[in-house]
Structure 1
């Protein structure tokens, strides 16, 4: 069986998880050292490296072999839910601040009450200038095993 051709950006299935190939190096034994980023739920965002010699069941997920399946759910809910999940998991490419719908909570009054009750002026905190200290070894008697240290402020 011929060895598959790998290229960065490919999707692979290794150890029952889906990975995107980010980098590929040749190993000494003529095989490949594949650097990947996780795509499936359990490994999403994790970095991993695989040696093709040690992982014989690496499957290339080729787009041309993808089979389209009809969405038979009422109102195409399953397909829309899948698309919505993928869009939410994709980072935005622009510089604008992105907020989710209703932020991360429902804006109920009892949740906003601690913020209303907080004082409007920040608490005064006195921060002293840090004191630099210097450790100096006192050479009183070099024959003794004990060493005396003096701490002096600058």
Structure 2
């Protein structure tokens, strides 16, 4: 595959991955701080959809195009910046996978609360803290991966 096309695909998928992630996190975080159940439900329901429509495909394309770029450019998998990039990429993924489950669970809890005209159970806020923690761990990992991909240190 042509280097320029592959690089464009890699940049586009990283933009979708990062943009969807930070945008979704912002809206869900702000909705939860407001504690308005219909607003919270709207946010989390659409965050779950965005993860399936945008984030998941971008994660796959990101990895495949990254491996393709290594092949096309001749960089070695043993290069320190490549190894760290892969470790951090998968580290962010290890944080993201439970976040997907948390978001689905949180969506379902809000839906039940709305249907029963009740407040969300306390477990919702425990899940919210885990969601914030895992997202706060994944975000800097991805920022460092961007740095490594651009500057290729070492």
Same fold judged by TM-score > 0.5? Answer: no
- TM-score range (shorter-chain normalised) is under 0.3
Whichever structure has more helix as a proportion of its residues is 2
Q: Which has the larger radius of gyration?
A: 1
Structure with more contact order per residue of length (Cα contacts < 8 Å, sep ≥ 6): 2
Q: What TM-score do you get using the length of structure 2 for normalisation?
A: 0.22
- TM-score, length-scaled by structure 1: 0.22
